[in-house]
Amino acid sequence: MSGASGASVSLVEATLSDLAAALEAGRTTSVELVAGYLNRIARYDHHGLALNAVPVLNSEAFAEARASDERRARGEALGPLDGIPYTAKDSYQVRGLTVAAGSPAFEHLVAGADAFAIERLRAAGAICLGLTNMPPMANGGMQRGVYGRAESPYNRDFLAAAYLSGSSNGSGVATAASLCAFGLGEETWSSGRSPASNNALVAYTPSRGVISVRGNWPLTPTMDVVVPHTRTVDDLLALLDVLVVDDPDTRGDFWRSQPWVELPPASAMRPGPPESSGSFSTGVPDPDALRGRRLGVPRMFLGRDRDQAWAIVPRLSMLELFDRARADLEAQGAEVVEVDFPALSNYERDRPGARNGVDRGILPARFFDAEMWDLTTWAWNDFLAMNGDPALDRLADVDGSLIFPTPTGAIADHVRGAFDEYNLDLAEYPVRAARPGVESGLVERFEDIPDLADGVRGLEELRRLDLESWLDEQGLDALVFPTAVDVGRADADVNPASHERAMANGVWVSTGNTMIRHYGVPTVTVTMGLLADLRMPVGLTFAGRAYDDIALLRSAWAYERASRRRVLPPSMPELAPLARVGRAAASGAAPRLAFSVAVEPDASGGTVRIRIEGETDAPLLQLFVDGAAAAVERDGTRFMATAAVPAAEFERRHSEWRDPYGALVVVVATAAGGASTGAFRAVGGV
């Protein structure tokens, strides 16, 4: 490393503004950021703690980073996100990467285009490092899919998300563990809120149509939303400046495609007057946002509702956290009052006299079948057709048995009570797709599905009646409540006792269950801190009227600013920083870099030897194997390095459907002027 000077920026807990400032000041390059995050993924995610959050890496990440550095050197940076690495859930289309949605049935499906959110971030210069873990089709939470599942960075004895609805678990873990600058998750029931709660993150679930879901694998199109995961509310606002814009292409986005309910344009949801295209980053923050706000907390989420049929039993340490959060809110001038929650009680018929939408004639009796069977069958088939992979572009051609196979030894999940009808066999969808027609088959247009139009209108009416009119009657500005009442244990998939508690009300799904997303209720979740006994985080959720998103964001920003309860995960310290030559990306062309990687026999049997040989004209060459720096021997432009990695790490399986990770080699070459280029190779695995 002769001629090296300085060091890259710290990645642990780095905010988007930290990274943007470091790039702008020349204290790092995008290439160095990509290398730094890849080293953390290799050390803590694929090996070591084996968090298993980012199973798919983007082979173009370094090339995209180099392009970003070149733009910046020319004074043509695309904005504050240019050059910043992030991850996306495995259900997002990222052009050229697989889009498996965690399912063995789609392991080799290749995305032919970018999802809207990816498209917007690419245009802003952000770099997708890779795809994050999820259960098959997002139809669950912590069940194991084609890539296994992500594990908690806080306490390995507990789950990284709610057991039955936390499918963005990989996004939550990757963001919490500083394996990326931010993550893109999704939510259908609580799959965005739940990982945020269990990983001390910020999550935003928008009102219908605020962020386009075009290019995301659908699960239940009436409920699906994009959910950004960040470590601070300010970071979330920076993303919303990019993501909350009108998308003229509505295909693949049910709510913006359907003709029955008029939605406001996304541009109308930005702060300030509609014509201003206001900035979230500058228009949302308000230290006094909570002053004078009257917030209701449903007493059922505190275990104080004796009439609730499926009673919620909170953990004592969670109640202690909420009491502290309540005090934080009140100290900022909010009034917090305990209330009933008729929207949820009626939705679940959880007590005598509670009547759901079908009981009151607001929803058609057949709406569940129209929504969960007919619409999802159509949406999955349309996604495959729109994606355009010639190897698989029809749902009828899919092997249904591979969509959500039960992992070896796993307990079969069965939801109960009001949710019994959600016990669906996903293998049935390709069967239905092979039958044309509206009777349990595949329709040509979703508008032809019987009862769907009346059901969609009914969902909107139920939200107005049971939530928004009730909030008005109670004089409430919004609701605030713990995102979960307890945290499930990590062995919930194989231990009956753990499984039972993980499936308890308030634990199996984030509080509010399926009603929140079904009614299009916007929420913002911020951490309350760690449970004293488990050292696991729990979130605080702000929820309110449809399209009151800005007010919720302001409340969350003010609460976070006053409380600052996020705690770093343990045991994942900063890795040794990359060295530099002069000012990063100051001038000159990037150096040439080419290398090969091989596995050599090791007689000891306990280790695997990795040999790297290559060529570069760079004066500074840095080489890492599984996140650890390796000594490099140089002879002119030629270089060579070897490293020994534990065989147990090299061969460890993270999924019964996939090969081990093997070893990850990262190489960064830096020219005398500071320009860098990089590359990575996985050897002996995926």
The yes-or-no verdict on residue 100 having pLDDT over 90 is yes
Q: Which residues contact 652 (CB under 8 A, 6 or more apart)?
A: 47, 50, 660, 661
pLDDT at 419: 78
Give which of 173, 166, 164, 161 is closest to 130, Cα–Cα.
Answer: 173
pLDDT at 582: 62
For residues 262 and 378, give the distance between their C-alpha atoms in angstroms, rounded to a whole number.
22
pLDDT classification of 3: cutoffs 50, 70, 90: very low
DSSP H or E stretch at residue 544: none
Residue range 61-81: average pLDDT? 97
pLDDT at 583: 62
Q: Strand 663-670: give its sheet, edge to edge.
A: 628-629, 620-625, 663-670, 676-683
Torsion over CA: 575, 580, 583, 584 (sign): negative
Domains of the chain: 367-456 (no CATH), 593-683 (2.60.40)
pLDDT classification of 341: cutoffs 50, 70, 90: very high
For residues 420 and 427, give the distance between their C-alpha atoms in angstroms, rounded to a whole number.
18
pLDDT at 173: 99
Three-class SS state of 202 = strand
C-beta of residue 667 within 8 angstroms of C-beta of residue 623: yes
The yes-or-no verdict on residue 602 having pLDDT over 80 is no
The yes-or-no verdict on residue 5 having pLDDT over 70 is no
Instruction: Calculate the average pLDDT of the chain.
Output: 96
Residue range 210-215: average pLDDT? 99
Q: What is the DSSP letter of 484?
A: -
Which alpha helices (DSSP H) does 199-289 contain, by range? 233-243, 254-257, 280-283
pLDDT at 673: 87
Torsion over CA: 611, 616, 620, 622 (sign): negative
Q: Which residues contact 32 (CB under 8 A, 6 or more apart)?
A: 8, 578, 580, 584, 668, 676, 678
Percent of the chain at pLDDT exceeding 70: 96
What tens digit of pLDDT does each residue of 384-399 get? 999 999 999 999 999 9
The yes-or-no verdict on residue 80 having pLDDT over 50 is yes
For residues 142 and 168, give the distance between their C-alpha atoms in angstroms, rounded to a whole number.
9
Residue range 246-256: average pLDDT? 98
Q: Which residues is 185 bridged to in the sheet?
A: 227
pLDDT classification of 4: cutoffs 50, 70, 90: very low
Place of tokens 């959110």: 117
The yes-or-no verdict on residue 6 having pLDDT over 70 is no
pLDDT at 594: 98
Q: Which residues of 146-178 are buried (b: 16+ CB within 10 A; e: fewer)?
A: bbbbbbbbbbeebbbbbbbbbbbbbbbbbbbbb
Point out the residues that are catalytic. 89, 167, 191
Burial class of residue 361 in the structure, from the number of CB atoms within 10 Å of its CB (0-12 exposed, 13-18 middle, 19+ buried):
exposed
Phi, psi of 432 (to 5 degrees): -65, -35
Residue range 664-685: average pLDDT? 95
Q: Which residues is 480 bridged to in the sheet?
A: 542
pLDDT at 579: 86
C-beta of residue 313 within 8 angstroms of C-beta of residue 303: yes
Three-class SS state of 646 = strand
